[in-house]
Structures are given as structure tokens and as C-alpha cells.
Structure 1
Amino acid sequence: MQCRVGHVICSSCHHKLRKKDNCHVCAITGGYNRCIAFDHILESTKVSCSNSIYGCTVKTHYYHQEEHKKSCPHAPCFCPEPGCGFAGSTTQLQRHLTADHMLPATAFAYGYSFTLHMQEGMRVLHRKEEGGPLFLAKFTLVPPFGNAVSILCIDPHAVTENHRFECDVDFYSRTMGWHQHSNFQIISTNLSNGFPGEEASYTFVVPDISSDPHTTTTRLLIRPPKISCP
């Protein structure tokens, strides 16, 4: 907006003026009118995404910047390994964890069960297609109960304590005739504050019956968020 002399002010600041009929620079009366020329300049100006350092090449109008940022596929997630400052998209994080930290990885598809090998430490769970959320499984030996397992969804747009995915776990022991089933909601995080505290992230415990893969089997099935019908 501009006064009769030509001094400009944005509409947000104009709303904050105590005397909207007087120019904030020269005090001339007569109020403000829309500055069409300045509007055209702003309309033609585009800004780079703040995630450009992570590979985003999108440029948007300044007033669409926040909207794009909320769904930008290049928004960063963070490495959970202590002392590592890596940040990048889920695809970049997956490559970093498997190549730089040598974490084992398992590919899966939503809605289909897959075998999960019990091994102390962390394992990357990723979809066969690149992009989208990444998952981490963390195994911690808790004698005498067995292996405590944490499953996390790594999502750059995660809301604190948000549960978007559901997981089914089936544990079988053929020698003991044991079958255990668990169902739970998966916590989503971008790992900006590291791996959640163990007391908050354990999702199920597998009994320490036998580590022989020929006699025990652990299978997971991860379901995507349900889409509500309008």
C-alpha cells in the first residue's frame, strides 16, 4: 500500500498503525491505497526453498513458502548416532545410515509381512520405492526378558508424538510351540532431538527363547495411514 506521496507499507504493518489515515513517514493525511506496481513486483519474485541445502530446487512466491515447506520432500531428518551431525532427506539419511554407519537394511512394502532378523543394535526398514518416510528398528537385550524392540517412523514433517502408521508383529518358536502377536501405533519423529528415550520408545518384547533362525521367526507388517473419505 502507498500514501498519496508514494511512501509504501505492507498490508500487515498497515493494520498495526494507530493512525491509519496518516502516512507513517510523512504524516500526510488521506490514507493509503493499494500500490499495484509494487504488487506486480512481489508477484514476479520467487524465493528458494529453505531446504535448498538438502537438494530442493523449488522456488515459490514468498507467500507460498511456508505452505511448500510443510510438505517439502527434501525437509531434513537427522542421524540418531551419537556425535554424528548428518541431516538430509529420508533418502539421503537411508544411504548415510547404511553406507557410513554400516547399518543392515530390510526392504518392505506397506500391507505385506516381512521377516525381521533379531540382532542387537539398529536396522533400517525402508520401502522398495525411494522417498517417503523411513523406519528404524532398534533391538536392545533386556535380560532375562528377551529383546526389547523399538520401531520408529522417520518423517521430516512428523508432529511430536504423532502416530501415523500401525504395525503388527508375530513371533513364532517352533521348538517351544510359542506364538506371540503384538499390534501397536508407530511413533513418528524427525530425530532432531536424537532417538527417543528407551522408556518411551519400546513397543514390544520378544522372548529370549532361541536365536536360531531355523526355529524362531519374527514377522512385521506395517500399515500406512488410513485415508478418510470426504
Structure 2
Amino acid sequence: MSEKQERKRGSAPGDAEPGRKKPRAQPQAVAPGGVVKQEPEEEGDATQGSNEGEASQGSSEGGGSVMAVQAMDEPQVKLTVGVSLLHCQACVLPLKPPTSKCEAGHVVCCSCRGKHGQACGRAATYAACRELDAFVRDAKLPCHYEEFGCKSLVVYYQAADHHGACEWAPCSCPAPGCYFFTSPRRLVEHFVTDHRWPVTKVRYGAACKLPVPAPPQGCHVLVGEGDRSVFLVSQCALGAATAVSLVCMRANGAAAAGAAQFKCKLWVELPSNKDKLVLIMSAVRSSDLSNGFPAADTKMSLGVPPVLLHDASGEAPDLMVCIDKACVLGGATGQE
């Protein structure tokens, strides 16, 4: 993590409900080698326990198939494993089932057999590693963004995909001189308590009315109903006009298949004169806001002319915002 990120890291409260304690799990004895030692069965259940134990051993006959009987609340063991044991020896990426072993004992993904065979002269034939596949499918680790609120346990070979889309990836507070750094959901509380920015819950596909952001306000915070995505509506100077921008707080937006998740319509109108309005339809850009508020962008910002901001009637204009899912409105691109 960069030095700037270290300065910005915010300590937000956890998700546990205050004043409530979690029930302590009953300790279980662990035998050497990481095997969970089960307590003796009560009399009358010994036969059943023996049968289940035999079934869990499975059989390697009939094409090497393995049968396992697992309890609903199977005990878990935390282990430390060398990284090389979980990586393909051909492509050096995390092993994905189905896996294979060559004559030299090298374990590779099935898709890498040809590449591996060129480097290993003894790799003429391969055998399926079904037992290893079971381990690879079950090996999990905490999300990289656990400290920012993500409670997911991620399958090891799927970790990169998860981190590229994790909604808890941290963003920066865009307020000048503020170095708070945490997940978008936790930033919402920070915006309210530390900056007094207004927060409005929005329903996708429905328009909501806001005041045109003024410099003292900083911005208006919008929280999507259902998925709790966080959007910021801010303003900046655009010549003699004012540019209003909407951005989705998302640290990993650029890695999400190159397509925007949301699209929006922004327009400003005078309540008593609907003929005086300006409107823009745009994809919603994603940003971690590490560089502060977004600069004026004619493609993704709404330019509000002075005639609307300073109408002769003295009437204040309304800012109308309508956000929808990109899959509904066409899926245009628009990420930083």
C-alpha cells in the first residue's frame, strides 16, 4: 500500500452490533497434523459414527472416484501453506481444477499441459489429481479488504476476480485537506459526521430533486437503494458557467470488464418555467477519488449557464437526477 494510502487510512467501527457478544464456540481438540479430534460418540451412536467414518474414506476404485460425507457444520482448520503448492508449475498462476500430474511429478492445470510438455521432456502422459482438486476447490482466504468491511472468505484461485470487483475496496475522501481512506459505505458516515454533507437514498430509474450544489456544501451524497452504491454530485467552474458532475465511488471500477455499471440523466430547470432547462445523458464514471473531486468534463458534466443560476425572478433552480443500471439503459462505458 502506498505512503499516501497509509496516511489516508481511516479507522471505522466494525459491523458488530455494540453491546452484544457473540457466543463462544466450543473448543475442539486438534491432533498433530491439523486433524480435528472428535469427542467420543454417546452409547448407541457408535455404530453410526463408525459407518460415517468409513464412508468419508471413500474408494479409489472405479476410475478413482472419491466419495466424502461432510457434516453441515464441519469444523474448519486454519493452515499456512507454501504458495508454490497452490500454483501451476507451467503458467505459475493459481491452480484451477481439474488438475493433472505429469510423470515427473509436476502438477499443472489441464489447460497448461502443452506448455508444460515443451519444458519437461518427461511429461509424456498425465494423470488426473482428483484429491488435489478437492483441496483446491476448498482452499479459502480472507478478502484482501477485510479491514475495510468485507467478510468474504474467497476461494484461493478466484481471489483475483473477487478483489477486482469487491465493493469494499477503499476510496479516498475528496474533501481538500482530508485524508480519510476506507470503503465507500463507511465513507458515507464520515461525510455526514465530519463534513455535514447531505445524504439522499435514491431508487434506480426514478428521478430525485436536489438543490444545485454550491461551493460551501461541497457535494451531495446519493446512496443507491438495494445495492448501497455511493454516488457524489459535485460542482466546479466551467468558464462563466457551472459544471455539475456525478461520480460513482468505486476503487476497482476500471477493472470491471471496461463497462460502466450505471447511466444517469442530469438536468436543471426552473420550477415555474419548464422551458428553461439544460439536460445531459451520460454513463456514470467510477473513481476512487484519490485526486479529489472530478474536474469538469464536457462529456460527463452538466454545464449550467448563469441565466439559470441567476434568474431575474430570483427563483433557485432544481437539479434533477435519475440513475439507472447500465444494463437497463444500454451499458455505455465511462470509467476512469
TM-score range, shorter chain: 0.7 to 0.9
User: CA 1:78/1:90 → structure 2, altered by over 3 Å: closer, same or farther?
Assistant: same
Match of 1:151 in 2: 246
1:89 aligns to 2:189 (yes or no):
no
SS of 2:101's equivalent in the other structure is coil
1:215 aligns to 2:315 (yes or no):
yes
Larger radius of gyration: 2
* Candidates 220, 232, 255, aligned match of 1:136: 232
Matches within 5 A, 1:1-230: 1-4=100-103, 7-11=105-109, 14-17=113-116, 18-22=118-122, 31-110=125-204, 111-121=206-216, 122-127=218-223, 129=225, 131-141=227-237, 145-159=240-254, 162=260, 164-172=262-270, 174=272, 179-194=276-291, 195-199=293-297, 202-207=301-306, 208-210=309-311, 215-227=315-327
Contact 1:164 1:186 in 2 (8 A): yes
In the alignment, the residues of structure 2 paired with residue 131 and residue 95 of structure 1 have an alpha-carbon distance, to the nearest angstrom, of 17
Contact 1:167 1:185 in 2 (8 A): yes
Give the unaligned 5+ runs of structure 1: 24-29
In the alignment, the residues of structure 2 paired with residue 4 and residue 82 of structure 1 have an alpha-carbon distance, to the nearest angstrom, of 61
Higher helix share: 2
Match of 1:26 in 2: none
Task: After TM superposition, give the deviation of residue 93 of structure 1 in Å.
Answer: 1.8
Give the unaligned 5+ runs of structure 2: 1-99, 330-336
In the alignment, the residues of structure 1 paired with residue 201 and residue 138 of structure 2 have an alpha-carbon distance, to the nearest angstrom, of 44
User: CA 1:72/1:211 → structure 2, altered by over 3 Å: closer, same or farther?
Assistant: farther
Between the aligned residues of both structures, percent identity stands at 20
Task: After TM superposition, give the deviation of residue 102 of structure 1 in Å.
Answer: 3.1
Pairs aligned (count)? 219
Higher strand share: 1
In the alignment, the residues of structure 1 paired with residue 226 and residue 182 of structure 2 have an alpha-carbon distance, to the nearest angstrom, of 14
SS of 2:169's equivalent in the other structure is coil
Task: After TM superposition, give the deviation of residue 70 of structure 1 in Å.
Answer: 4.1
Contact 1:138 1:150 in 2 (8 A): yes
| 1:61-85: CA deviation from partner (whole Å, max 9, x where unpaired) | 2233233334433233332234544
Contact 1:156 1:190 in 2 (8 A): yes
Task: After TM superposition, give the deviation of residue 211 of structure 1 in Å.
Answer: 10
Contact 1:166 1:222 in 2 (8 A): yes
Measured on the aligned residues, the alpha-carbon RMSD in Å equals: 3.5
In the alignment, the residues of structure 2 paired with residue 112 and residue 228 of structure 1 have an alpha-carbon distance, to the nearest angstrom, of 15
TM-score (norm. length: structure 1):
0.74
User: CA 1:10/1:84 → structure 2, altered by over 3 Å: closer, same or farther?
Assistant: farther
TM-score (norm. length: structure 2):
0.53
Larger RCO (alpha carbons 8 Å, 6+ apart): 1
Contact 1:49 1:60 in 2 (8 A): yes
User: CA 1:223/1:128 → structure 2, altered by over 3 Å: closer, same or farther?
Assistant: closer
User: CA 1:70/1:199 → structure 2, altered by over 3 Å: closer, same or farther?
Assistant: closer
Task: After TM superposition, give the deviation of residue 224 of structure 1 in Å.
Answer: 0.3
Contact 2:172 2:179 in 1 (8 A): yes
User: CA 1:113/1:2 → structure 2, altered by over 3 Å: closer, same or farther?
Assistant: closer
